[in-house]
Structure 1
Amino acid sequence: MSLSPSRHQPSPQVVKQAIQWSMRLNSASADPRLYRQCEQWRTEHPDHECAWQRIQALSSELSHSFQALPGSGAAFEALENSAQRLGRRRALKLLSGVAVLGSAAWVSRETVPWEQWQADFATHVGQRHSYQLQDGTRLQLNTDSAVDQHFTAQQRLITLMRGEILVACGADSQSPAPRPLRVQGRHGLFESIGGRFVVRQEQAKTRISVMEGSLVIRSPVSPPVQVKAGEHYSITPQHVALLQALDMDAAAWAEGLIVTKDMRLGDFLAEVGRYRRGYLGCADDIADLRLSGVFRLEDTDKLLAVLPQTLPVKLSYRTRWWVSLQRQA
């Protein structure tokens, strides 16, 4: 589904409707017809989709934070079941209260769930979504990402609040004097007249990968840097550095894939872990094993099940949220 977002906040009534749809679809009695009805409601007005995305992002962030706590699997299942019998407002209050009490790190992060709530576009863990912006730019959000859009007569600006985006932009179709498309991130401003590029923002660094066209990096720690197609750069508060060839395709996630070339197993599991909740890791003695291949993201459990077929490892599921790999005996 594509849309141009409403620049004002959805009304309380629309937000309430989005909450009600979310609760109905999360119930055990939800059927395919209900999903179709919800989809129809979401397409009736941009505010409906905006409210739906923010409800899903907030709910997912709360549940993800709680599930990451040690020993929380069974407790969270009980809370989920109880939440079905509560009003949505009370259920969110319950989940957020438990998460805050159980994890000081959750409340101290720079980007909190309420910031995602304010975003024009957001995805939760494991979700990817594509949008057509009002100027014709195609914007794709990877897992657990949030962006704001600021388009005026003078500028086209996308603010990356968290996560990773793929941007495909062309000539400005709405202004006689072409406005460059800019992406503002934590570590710099990235400007393109036309091209296709990925911006991946982490706490300590941002990575830029250009697939088509060109892009200019503007950072406080460096003169402007021109990035050409096929190049990758890392931007930190200390430097802007050209990267050698990556051990994975930077844009493959947009097609629902992880494509690796001689990638460390430890790094591969960290990448897969971005698309699922809970813990995913491996023993130190197998972290440096290497793998190359094409892996589909729609079911990460099936993806992990492939690994023992190609590497001397075995999977261990302590719970559905705690998966580890050890060396095969």
Structure 2
Amino acid sequence: MSAAPDPRVVKQAIQWTLRLNGNADAELHSACQHWRQADPEHEAAWRRVQTLNSELAASYQAVPGAHAVLENTTQRLQRRQALKLLSTFALGASALWLAREVAPWQRWLADYSTATGERRRFTLADGSLLQLNTDSAVNLRFDARQRLLILERGEMLVSAARDVARPLRVRNRDGLFEALGTRFVLRQDERSTRLSVEDGSVAIAPRVRGQTTAIAEAGQTYAINGDSALLAERSNMDSSAWADGLIVTRDMRLADFLAEIGRYRYGHLHCDASVADLRLSGVFRLDDTDKLLALLPQTLPVQVEKRTDWWVTVSARG
């Protein structure tokens, strides 16, 4: 089936999967079978959920130390916790990687999404341009009264088309952002959201305040945490270069640079404390992060050690 099933049907398939896991109740299995046979789309969603579940499980087993974390995880889940697991883990360093890898469920259910290392662009029905960075998910709420984008995770670049009757707004965990004829980047991290305006201006209404507290103008960057919106210092990284497949840095700490590169690849990318404060500037391509890392020893006194495909360390040159 080439088209993705209806998100509501996918959610139903996920719920059936979680209910059946480890449950030998014949009536429950019969009810699931009846649901699958009731509509071809039900069966298609069921098969895709099972396939993705198997692929994720196989991928996790390839990660060093992951087996102990994963073993019997599904069996221990309560149904009410299951969907939460699909979007977040807090079980240490290995689980931080796992948290990113369960995101396919969230991305699959979103209207627009990207996988780790992927960047995509979409032209919306109103003519606005939406670009998504790595590991991002956005839902769309366009109708006769509103144009609303919901940033579920990751980073987006929006070039808003003009519509006086329906201003384009973006909502996320930390607030509501209204485009005032503009082009801007919105990035949602673990603790806050970063807004960088390239053209026009954006009205910011932090979630807790519920009303506009600041107007971000072109060239400005704001940090929003749900309760406040504060003007941020100029970043040492171009906020929108990723849309062109680049990372552009200016006197950036190596540790921060590697943390950024880590967003575009699987596994763990570690920076040894002895080289964390080294600085670098330049223009780097994001398409192949292994080649990018291989360039570092040419400009800095470091070595790149690849223990496995999932574990890479950058340390002082021996």
When the two structures are superposed, what TM-score results if normalisation uses the length of structure 2? 0.72
Corresponding residue of 1:47: none
Residue 237 of structure 1: how far off its partner (Å)? 3.2
User: Does structure 1 residue 309 correspond to structure 2 residue 298?
Assistant: yes
Give the whole-Å Cα distance in 2 for the aligned partners of 1:68 and 1:287.
28
SS in 2 for 1:62: helix
Corresponding residue of 1:147: 138
Q: 2:315 is matched with which residue: 314, 319, 326? A: 326
Output aligned runs, 1:56-135, within 5 Å. 62=56, 66=60, 69-71=63-65, 109=88, 113=103, 114-135=105-126
Residue 7 of structure 1: how far off its partner (Å)? 11
Give the whole-Å Cα distance in 2 for the aligned partners of 1:60 and 1:184.
33
Equivalent residue pairs, number: 259
Q: 1:293 is matched with which residue: 262, 276, 282? A: 282
Seen in structure 2, the aligned counterparts of structure 1 residues 64 and 247 have a Cα distance that, compared at 3 Å, is: farther
Gapped regions of structure 1 (runs ≥ 5): 16-50, 76-95
Gapped regions of structure 2 (runs ≥ 5): 14-44, 90-98
Seen in structure 2, the aligned counterparts of structure 1 residues 129 and 100 have a Cα distance that, compared at 3 Å, is: farther
SS in 2 for 1:178: coil
Q: 1:190 is matched with which residue: 174, 177, 183? A: 177
SS in 2 for 1:294: strand
**Contact residue 107 and residue 115 of structure 2 kept, 8 A:** no
Give the whole-Å Cα distance in 2 for the aligned partners of 1:60 and 1:121.
23
Alignment identity in percent? 50
Corresponding residue of 1:251: 240
Output aligned runs, 1:149-298, within 5 Å. 149-172=140-163, 177-219=164-206, 220-221=208-209, 223-298=212-287
Give the whole-Å Cα distance in 2 for the aligned partners of 1:136 and 1:71.
47
Seen in structure 2, the aligned counterparts of structure 1 residues 99 and 286 have a Cα distance that, compared at 3 Å, is: farther
Residue 152 of structure 1: how far off its partner (Å)? 1.0
Residue 203 of structure 1: how far off its partner (Å)? 2.0
Residue 282 of structure 1: how far off its partner (Å)? 1.3
Give the whole-Å Cα distance in 2 for the aligned partners of 1:7 and 1:157.
23
**Contact residue 147 and residue 162 of structure 1 kept, 8 A:** yes
Give the whole-Å Cα distance in 2 for the aligned partners of 1:185 and 1:200.
10
SS in 1 for 2:304: strand
Seen in structure 2, the aligned counterparts of structure 1 residues 264 and 226 have a Cα distance that, compared at 3 Å, is: same
Q: AA paired with 2:152? A: M
Q: Which has the higher contact order (CA 8 A, sep 6+)?
A: 1
Give the whole-Å Cα distance in 2 for the aligned partners of 1:61 and 1:223.
44
Q: What CA RMSD, in Å, does the superposition of the two structures yield over aligned residues? A: 3.5
When the two structures are superposed, what TM-score results if normalisation uses the length of structure 1? 0.70
Seen in structure 2, the aligned counterparts of structure 1 residues 132 and 201 have a Cα distance that, compared at 3 Å, is: same
Residue 235 of structure 1: how far off its partner (Å)? 0.5
**Contact residue 180 and residue 203 of structure 2 kept, 8 A:** no
Seen in structure 2, the aligned counterparts of structure 1 residues 108 and 194 have a Cα distance that, compared at 3 Å, is: closer
